[in-house]
Amino acid sequence: MTMLLGAIGQTQVVRKDEDDLRSIRLIRDGAVVEIPWTQALALEGRLYGVGSGATALGVAVGPFGAGALDMTEIDYLQTIPVTVAVLPIYIRVCLVAVGTVLESGFHAFWGGSGIVGANPVAVAPHNLKPGSNLTSLCTVNVCSDAGGTAFVPAGLIAREVTTMLTGIAASPQPFIPAWSAATAGFTPTLEGLASPGRQIAIFVDGQAPSGYIHHVWAELPVGDILT
C-alpha cells in the first residue's frame, strides 16, 4: 500500500519560486486541493467583491451613462496598485430600467489613465471570507458623472450586450448574461503598474439605463504570479 502525505495549507499559503519542490497541499479535513482553485483562494481570503449601485452595496439603484460608450463617464473604475495582481472572476450587470430601444449591456476592459468625473460612489471591496484579516489594496469608484479623464483601453476582459426594449406591464426586461472565468475557461492576469497605472473599467451602455454592478476578483501579491 502506498501512503501519500501532504501539508495543510488553507489560510497561510506560502507560494514558492519556479521549479521549487513542494508538499501536496491539503485543506484542514485532509482533502487534496482538487477543489476549484478559485474556491481555494476564497478559503485563503484572496477573493474580493463589490455589489454596487448608487450606494456601495447596491441598496439603491445606480444610474449609468446613457447612449454610446463615453470613455470619460466610467461606470466602474478599479485601480490596481503595483504591489498586487488581479484576476477577474465574475462580472454581472443587472439593469432595472432603460429608456428607448438601444444596445444595452456592459463592456469590461483593462487599461489606464482613467479618472472618474463628479459624484462618484467610493466602494470598499469586501472579502468573500469575512473572517479574514486580508483587505483589498485596490480602489474602486462607480457611477460617476461624465467629464472625467478618458480611460484608455488596452485589452478586453468581457463584453455582454443585447438589444433592450422599453419595458411594458407584465413584460420583464431580458437578463444580460454574466461573465465568469469558469464559463470562459480563462481569466486575464493583471499586474499592477506604478506608472501610468493599470485599471479595470466597466462601461454600461444603453438609453438611460440604471441598475447594479457585481464584480468578484482574486487579488494576490504581485510576486506570487510573476515568472
Amino acid 159: pLDDT: 95
With the C-alpha atoms ordered 128, 130, 136, 138, is the resulting torsion angle positive or negative?
A: positive
Q: Strand 210-221 vs strand 47-52: parallel, antiparallel, or unpaired?
A: antiparallel
Nine cell digits for residue 187? 481569466
Amino acid 143: pLDDT: 92
In percent, how much of the chain has pLDDT > 90? 59
* Residue 67, beta-bridge partner list: 206
**Cα–Cα distance, 166 to 77 (Å, whole number):** 28
Assign 103 a pLDDT band (cuts: 50, 70, 90).
Answer: confident
- Residue 191 near residue 138, CB atoms below 8 Å: no
- Residue 103, helix vs strand vs coil: strand
Q: pTM for this structure?
A: 0.88
- Residue 112 near residue 152, CB atoms below 8 Å: yes
Q: Strand 6-8 vs strand 24-26: parallel, antiparallel, or unpaired?
A: parallel
**Cα–Cα distance, 62 to 113 (Å, whole number):** 24
- Residue extents of the structural domains in the chain: 1-34, 47-224
Q: How many residues would you count in the chain?
A: 227
Amino acid letter for position 227: T
Assign 20 a pLDDT band (cuts: 50, 70, 90).
Answer: low
Residue the block writes with cell 469575512: 130
In the predicted model, is pLDDT for residue 18 greater than 90? no
Q: Computed over its alpha carbons, how large is the radius of gyration of the chain?
A: 20
**Cα–Cα distance, 5 to 48 (Å, whole number):** 31
Phi and psi at 148, nearest 5°, equal -75, -175
Q: Work out the angle at residue 47's Cα, subtended by the Cα atoms of residues 26 and 19, and round it to the nearest 5 degrees.
A: 50
**Cα–Cα distance, 6 to 104 (Å, whole number):** 50
In percent, how much of the chain has pLDDT > 70? 85
* Residue 200, beta-bridge partner list: 78, 110
